Amino acid sequence: MTSKKIRFVTDSTCDLPAELVARWGIGVVPCFVNYGSASYADDGRELNRTTFYERLPEIRPHPTTAAPPPALAEQIIGEAARDADHVVIITAPAKLSAIHNTMRLAVESLDLQHRATLIDSGSVTIGLGWQVLAGAAEAERSGDVQRVVDVIHRIRPHVRVYAGLSTMEYLRRSGRVNWAKAGVGALLQIKPVIGVLDGEVPQVALVRTFARAVDKLIELARAEAPLDKLALLHANNVAGAQELKERLSDITPPDTMILSVTPVIGVHIGPESLGVAFVSDKWKQ
C-alpha cells in the first residue's frame, strides 16, 4: 500500500470549530446569507452569530441563503489539491442545497476527477463535520483513499441530528421542507422537533411547548446511548444548550461540544432553537 497525502474540503454548514479545522488542515468553502442589499460569507468573520440571531426576527424581507459561487469553490479545492495527492470533498445534502453540485462543478472545472472524491454527507452542521473528522483521522493513520471513503460511509448511518424549534415560522418561510409549507404548526403554536436523515428533514414530533420539545431531544439522545460523539446545538440559546448538556451528563462523551449553529442553518430554524447531534458508538463495531 502506498501512503498518500489526502486533504479534505467541506462547506461552512459543517460547524467545525476553528481549532479542529486548523488541526486537520481542512478547507472550508463558505456559504452565504443574503439580506438587506448585501451578501455575507458564512466564514466566522462577516457574520457575528449572536448579533445575527438577535436581529433575525426583525429582518425584512426574510434572509435567504446561497451556495458558494463556483469560483470560490474552485479556489479552495484547488488550494487543497496543490498540496495533496487526493482531495476528499464532503458536503451538505444535495437534496437540501446546491452546495454539492457547486463542488461537483468545481472538481470538473479543475479537471480533478481522478484526484478527488466527492461525498454527500446526508447531514448538516456537526453531523457533516464528524464525517470529515473521521475521514481525516483515517487519512492520517493509513494514507489510503479507499479506507478513508470506507470509514466515512461506515460512520454516516450512525450520525443523527435533531432540533427543537421555538416556532415553525422560519421553517415555513424557508420553503425547503414540504410538510412545513402549510403553516399549520404556526397557526396552532405547535413546536416541531425535526431530524435530518439522508438529506431529508422529517418531523419527529409536534408538541405544544418548547419544554416538551427539549424533553424529546433528550429522549432521542438517550435512545442511542452509548454515544461516541455528542454536541449540543443552539441558535443564540447558550443557556438552553448548557441545560441539555447537564441533563445528559451521564451519557456525555469526554469531548462533548456546545456549538452555535451557522446562520446558514439558523435562517431556516430560527433563533432560540436547540439541537442534539450525536454518533452512536455502534459505528465502531
Which cell is 254 given? 469526554
- 189 with 153, same domain? no
Q: Is residue 14 part of a domain?
A: yes
Locus of grid cell 454548514: 13
Q: Which residues pair with 32 in a beta bridge?
A: 41, 66
Considering the domain architecture, whether residues 191 and 217 belong to the same structural domain is answered as yes
For residues 204 and 192, what is the distance between their CA atoms, to the nearest angstrom? Answer: 8
Note the pTM of the prediction, 2 decimals: 0.94
Task: Judge whether 164 and 203 are in contact, CB under 8 Å.
Answer: no
Residue 1: inside a domain: no
20 and 60 in a single domain? The answer is: yes
Task: Give the Cβ contact number of residue 240 at 10 Å.
Answer: 22
User: 18 lies in which domain range?
Assistant: 6-157
136: nearest Cα among 127, 124, 147, 122:
147
178 and 277 in one domain?
yes
Contact assessment for residue 228 and residue 280, using Cβ atoms and an 8 Å cutoff? yes
Task: Tell me how many domains the chain contains.
Answer: 2
SS3 272: coil
Together in a domain, 12 and 153: yes
Domain contains 136: yes
Local confidence pLDDT in tens for the 285 residues of the chain: 567 899 999 999 999 999 999 999 999 999 999 999 899 999 988 989 999 999 999 999 999 999 999 999 999 999 999 989 999 999 999 999 999 999 999 999 999 999 999 999 999 999 999 999 999 999 999 999 999 999 999 999 999 999 999 988 888 776 655 555 555 545 557 899 999 999 998 889 989 999 999 999 999 999 999 999 999 999 999 999 999 999 999 999 999 999 999 999 999 999 999 999 999 999 998
Q: Please report, for the domain that includes residue 201, its CATH number.
A: 3.30.1180.10
* Residues 69 and 1 sit within 8 Å (Cβ to Cβ): no
Residues 119 and 42: their CA atoms lie apart, in Å, by 21
E strand or H helix at 20, and its extent?
A: helix 18-24
User: Does residue 275 sit within a domain?
Assistant: yes
What's the CATH code of the domain at 32?
Answer: 3.40.50.10170
Please indicate, yes or no, if residue 247 is contained in any of the structural domains.
yes
What stretches of 207-262 show up as alpha helix (H) in DSSP? 210-223, 238-247
- Orientation angle between helical segments 99-109 and 70-82, nearest 10 degrees: 60
- Quick check: is 168 in a domain? yes
